[in-house]
Structure 1
């Protein structure tokens, strides 16, 4: 089966800083892939590279151009407009006429439980509600791949549970999931495969059970002990 993403010795530089170092990776349809590691390890850079927001300085990245993908950030950007308009505009920019875009946007808001707030100003929502609007905006596009950069790290426990539930449901519907997280409990619940990065290097790439129970390279083992200790 042809992988959705194929990276061969990919490096990414920001000035003199090498954010990714010769990363080789394959990601197939239907996987639920978690990226873990300390701050500055390269998780966000890898996500942005996979989404086409950052170009490799070295190596080769292959993506299937036919695959629809969406990315959510830790703090989603909300336009100074209603919740409904925030979702509908993303569809309109992709060529959907305004009237059907609004109808699809309302359907997406119903999917994440926010249809009753469609007329509310988006910037007046709580952080958890804004992240659900971002999820609705992504879901409305019907992506095959969803990339998320620390999607629940700034949320309170109740909002974290709701956002995580929606992400799990999307993955359960067959969406390929690639996300970074410092929450190892969340990694256990959502991921089928875990990548550990350190200083831009891919140090470990294992099924979730093996990552938490099997032998690890020393760097990954020290990280795990520190996070769980």
Structure 2
């Protein structure tokens, strides 16, 4: 790709006290890519997402971001819901983003309708099911019209029906945007990603187009993980 990358990492390290969560991590992510981060728990996937979103600093190496924070939205595995209605949860995000409160309130309904929650505008967000809360979190992010979506295991705690619903919405939301997501669901990775980055103990072990990752030769660690022989 000839255009400058949105994110560029060169031998990056992220440390939490004595723990090194990312080590010697090098990769670039360009606009429009759909990048899946896979690996065992503790491999550095969440840390990498938080680094991209500006939530954690790097201790060594070089990290450059050409995606301003206001053009990004991040969805966590367990999204935080304010003790307020679903509509207010969306409106507050828009208001904090600079939209006048009256306009933000007016935009909340269409944002919820987009994810199939139009009937729950006045429902307390904390009383919603797990799948409904993830859809609300996506509506809240989507309403900001971000160019980059960062997702940390967005369907990990959902039942199969809710997973399918949220995944379909993610596929739609990714259209024309840059998508970077962590997932343990390899089927989901095949369906949503154009590229796969495999991490182990904070290191980038493999970085390949999705077809090559699942059908070509891999480093031994990544091969064992895909076969289910590496926890």
The whole-number CA distance in structure 2 between the counterparts of 1:16 and 1:144 is: 35
Matched ranges for 1:194-213 at <5 A = 194-213=196-215
The whole-number CA distance in structure 2 between the counterparts of 1:227 and 1:113 is: 38
Deviation at residue 225 of structure 1 after TM alignment: 1.1
The whole-number CA distance in structure 1 between the counterparts of 2:61 and 2:100 is: 40
Deviation at residue 133 of structure 1 after TM alignment: 0.4
Q: What whole-Å deviation, never above 9, does each CA across 1:73-106 have from its counterpart, x for those lacking one?
A: 0000000000000000011112211110011221
The whole-number CA distance in structure 2 between the counterparts of 1:50 and 1:37 is: 18
TM-score, normalised relative to structure 2: 0.96
| Residue 137 of structure 2: aligned partner | 134
Residues 1:72 and 2:75 aligned together? yes
| Residue 56 of structure 1: aligned partner | 58
Q: Alignment partner of 1:110: what SS?
A: helix
TM-score, normalised relative to structure 1: 0.97
The structure 1 segments of at least 4 consecutive aligned residues displaced by more than 2 Å after TM superposition are none
Deviation at residue 35 of structure 1 after TM alignment: 0.3
Deviation at residue 227 of structure 1 after TM alignment: 6.1
Residues 1:217 and 2:213 aligned together? no
| Residue 89 of structure 2: aligned partner | 86
Match of 1:102 among 101, 105, 126: 105
The whole-number CA distance in structure 2 between the counterparts of 1:166 and 1:208 is: 20
- Which stretch has the larger CA shift, 63-72 or 205-214? 63-72
| Residue 11 of structure 2: aligned partner | 9
Residues 1:116 and 2:119 aligned together? yes
Deviation at residue 65 of structure 1 after TM alignment: 4.6
Residues 1:151 and 2:164 aligned together? no
Deviation at residue 185 of structure 1 after TM alignment: 0.3
| Residue 45 of structure 1: aligned partner | 47
Match of 2:195 among 183, 193, 196: 193
Deviation at residue 66 of structure 1 after TM alignment: 4.1
The whole-number CA distance in structure 2 between the counterparts of 1:26 and 1:107 is: 35
The whole-number CA distance in structure 2 between the counterparts of 1:28 and 1:157 is: 31
The aligned length equals: 228
Match of 2:28 among 26, 34, 39: 26
Q: Alignment partner of 1:40: what SS?
A: coil
Q: Alignment partner of 1:8: what SS?
A: strand
